[in-house]
Structure 1
Amino acid sequence: MSYPLVVATSLGSTVFAAVSTALKHHSATTLSTPSAAHGRVRTGRFLAATLSHPWWLAALVADAAGFTLQAFALHIGAVSVVQPLLVTALITSLVVTHLSQRTPMSRREWGWGALLVASLVGFLVVSGASSPHLRHQAADRGPAAVCAALALLLAVACVLSARSGPARRRAPLLGVAVGTLYACTAILLKATTEVWGNSGPVAMLRSWQLPVLVVCGGSGLLLAQLAFRAGPLHTSLPVIATVDPLLSVFLGVVVYDEQLRTGVGPVAAQVALLVGLAVAAVALSRLNADATTAIRRPGS
């Protein structure tokens, strides 16, 4: 794979991802829909209103651009490289927010951003994922299909638990569902582009991967809106930002047989670096949520 090109397209995708997240959250928190008893939003009416909301439609445009870059990056690169790189969208989002408000980044933001970048670079180097010769094979139908089925089942379970459980657990549970679907979408996206590359667009349109990709991707987009609506951004975004890359690395190894370094030392270092990445992602997600709330407050 062309590693510099993989990195460049992945980072380019994060810019659109940051814009899309901001637009979706603005749509979810400003959309006016009838509510049921006890303050619960009627899910059907909320989703119906979302589909025609201008901010959400604008987010779809940003999604399309980011999705195209992500698809290209996944086609030429490894899942265990591309998906962790997409976490840098949290830093991009903070930078965009501060530039729009003409305010400087705080020391906390710089510190957590540095930890995220250091953990990310460390993982890519220590794991061997940064090697241009990282070996991976075409996805087998069995593992890919099983991953898609399990992702959908987990998403359904999280949604049902969120509806029946305490209010404080709704947004985190929905965040788990969204992160799982995003990780599965990345696997299916890579599989779909490989069908295109190997057999052409007609074969891709006839493949089973494409409709399952649409279902997983579409479900993730709609559940993200429900997660943003269910509670403050800091209760769902950190979960999404950690579940997606960590699960993606695991699925890349399982489904595509991506060869990361083994051995006690390398594996321990990879785990430690992924933990550091997750901690930094959670902290930056909370800071993003605080910044978004601060922007909306003056005009609310």
Structure 2
Amino acid sequence: MTDFALLVPGGRGQLGADVTAHAEAAGAGFVHAPGSAELDVTDAEAVADAVSSLAATARDAGLRPVVINTAAYTAVDAAETDEARALEVNGDGPRNLAVACAEQRVRLLHVSTDYVFPGDATSPYEPDDATGPRSAYGRTKLAGERAVLDSGAEAWVVRTSWVYGAVGSNFVKTMVKLESQRDKLSVVGDQVGCPTWSADLARGLLELAARADGPRQRVLHAAGGSETTWCGLARAVFEELGADPNRVSACTTADFPRPAPRPAYSVLSPRAWQDAGLRPLRPWREALAAAFAECGEALRS
């Protein structure tokens, strides 16, 4: 992995922090991981400067420049009333990066989401299945995908789902907190997806980044293996805490209304990822156990 230089916009966030840590541990030749305060992806001039600097650094060091975009507006419910701002970050931001990468001949990996799909499927979504987001967040992420793919840059869109990790807030951390606060808990049991540990996703993105020849398929899916419901994930978290999973009962989506509609089914097929010769992410339950073993203290914080 020492043969490339890496720029990670959103590098202080949940996924960006893991991409940075694993890249540095693997001996990447150069890693710059600015947070949003340091690099605002909606600022086209700042993005152009950052990508130009990456390209120059890589050229001087004999490295291959790669951008992994983990910057995103991820407040799904807030986006329903703040879609303009979400579109700036999730749509305009990726466009700025893609334009700059095309100009500098820098490879771009852009992270997207299962929310670009309508959630009415009955079998795992393939990358070329019809999209149809039902939320503002999903619409803005789809806009970002299209901007990247239409830019002419050497770019790949990697969709993932139900991400949790050691940095920031997420569903797993919320369940850990609630386990200590409530005797019983009701969690939605009629939404199905693929929990994804951010560390596993980071490793997958870096494997793709390190490929001298990128896959022909420009949209790929990388998510935890197998599937479960939010209730199933919550029960598994309780198991990892040594608590009784039967304290968690299933409720319906209608029982727990949210401002933004959630996909009822958002399982992502790993077929294109595997066909590209990339290692599939491990099964979600195995990954959750590994996450608690490796960063349990952070998940409990």
The TM-score normalised by the length of structure 1 is: 0.27
More strand by share: 2
- Higher relative contact order (CA closer than 8 Å, sequence separation 6+): 1
The TM-score normalised by the length of structure 2 is: 0.27
More helix by share: 1
